[in-house]
Amino acid sequence: MLASLRRILALIRKEILAVLKDARTRNMLLLQPVLQCLLFGYAATLDLTNVPYAALDRDRSTASSALLAKLDGSGVFHRVANLTQAAQMKPLIDNQTALVVIQIDPNFQRQLSAGEQPAVQVITDGRNSNTAGAALGYVGAAVDSFNTDWRSDHGLPQPPVQVSARAWYNANLETRWNLIPALVGTITMMSTLMLAALSVAREREEGTFDQLLVTPFRPVEIMAGKAIPAMMIGTVQATNALLVAQLWFRIPFAGSYITLYVGLILFLLAAVGIGLFVSSIAATMQQAMLYAFVTIMPFALLSGLTTPISSMPAIMQDFTAINPLRYAIDLVHRVYLEGAGLDRLVSDLWPMAIIAAVTLSAAAWMFRNRLG
């Protein structure tokens, strides 16, 4: 047992040195999580903070000015044009000068004073449906605020039913609170799977794989020597991503680090199993990279990172059941934002355990055939 452990440790040292001896690879592994978290945190946010809009105010009354002032003072909208006729709206939308155009009818204030419900037309650029939908939501919030103030200032009764919304786990509904923790699993899987996939392929390409055949290493020891360095590097990358989330973006951590790392280790086992299986069937590093890329892309797209799994077709939802990244992202979200414990994460842990057992067993079988 002790001799086997020494052999595994020697192989782990050899694998780590092989990965870290190249400065470009070393920088990529250490800096990639930080750079990707910063990139996604700032560039990939779905929050709207700067919405250009144009106003066609046909009423030019105190009420219409107060409504537009709600938009101007929201911190989200900024007015790029004051229109005088409807024909001016289309060019602004076509040229993407304005995302939203607000048209207020001539009798806006008179209808309000008479207790009627005047209509306000909101025209948005629907070429990006997500952005247009978010902009409409912000306009609706500004109109609701105007209605409340108007009723209060004119002594009118408030609506009998009012909705009081409160978001749990992300009070301000910031996109990066959802995105950055999810990158902990995504970045970790990409690097871990790629490293594991290249490990054996590199041995074959450099001609050192045949040397393993005459060493006292057993197939299980070789697998352990290949898997553990990839998991160690993956853990370091996950830690870097967590540090960016907490120290740079100030996203509060609600759960337990022990719980999070227990889940991540199980996830890394599943990712390494997939990577070692890919590595066992690839003859060259180029093939291993291609197979790994073909594997990673569907896993990332079907993980729930950018698109909710519930919005996918039923057959795609069934396919996500074999995707360890799906469970890892859900686990990180629940631990990081919700503060869930291990007893509430069983639905994520047991699928990753099964995936790890199946992929590692398949990789071990392939190794035995290769080394037999």
Q: What's domain 51-153's superfamily in CATH?
A: abc type-2 transporter like domain (3.40.1710.10)
Residues in the chain: 372
Are 71 and 142 contacting, i.e. CB atoms less than 8 angstroms apart?
Answer: yes
Q: How far is CA 25 from CA 22, 31, 227, 271, in A?
A: 5, 10, 18, 20
Q: How far is CA 83 from CA 66, 98, 102, 143, in A?
A: 17, 12, 10, 20
Q: What is the distance between the terminal CA atoms of the chain, rounded to a whole angstrom? A: 22
Query: Which two three-digit tokens encode residue 272?
Result: 């390494």
Q: Which residues are CB-contacts of 151 (< 8 A; sequence separation ≥ 6)?
A: 157, 158
d(C-alpha 141, C-alpha 130), whole Å: 17
Q: What is the DSSP letter of 116?
A: -
Q: What angle do CA 187, 191, 196 make, to 5 degrees?
A: 145
Q: What are the start-end ranges of the H helices in the chain?
A: 2-20, 23-43, 62-72, 89-94, 108-113, 129-153, 175-206, 209-213, 219-243, 257-281, 285-301, 314-319, 324-333, 346-371
Q: Which residues are CB-contacts of 308 (< 8 A; sequence separation ≥ 6)?
A: none
Q: Could you list the pLDDT tens digit for every one of the 372 residues in the chain?
A: 787 888 888 888 887 887 777 776 677 677 777 887 888 777 766 677 889 999 999 999 999 999 999 999 888 899 999 999 989 999 999 988 999 999 998 989 998 888 888 888 999 998 877 788 888 888 988 988 888 888 888 777 776 666 677 788 888 778 889 889 999 999 888 888 888 888 877 777 777 766 766 677 777 787 888 888 889 989 998 999 999 999 999 999 999 999 999 999 999 999 999 998 888 888 788 888 888 888 888 899 899 887 888 888 889 899 999 999 999 999 999 999 999 999 999 999 999 999 999 999 988 888 777 655
Are 259 and 312 contacting, i.e. CB atoms less than 8 angstroms apart?
Answer: no
C-beta atoms surrounding 274 within 10 Å:
28
Residue 232: phi and psi, rounded to 5, are -65, -45
Residue found under tokens 């009070």: 171
d(C-alpha 250, C-alpha 247), whole Å: 5
For the chain, domain boundaries: 2-44+174-371, 51-153
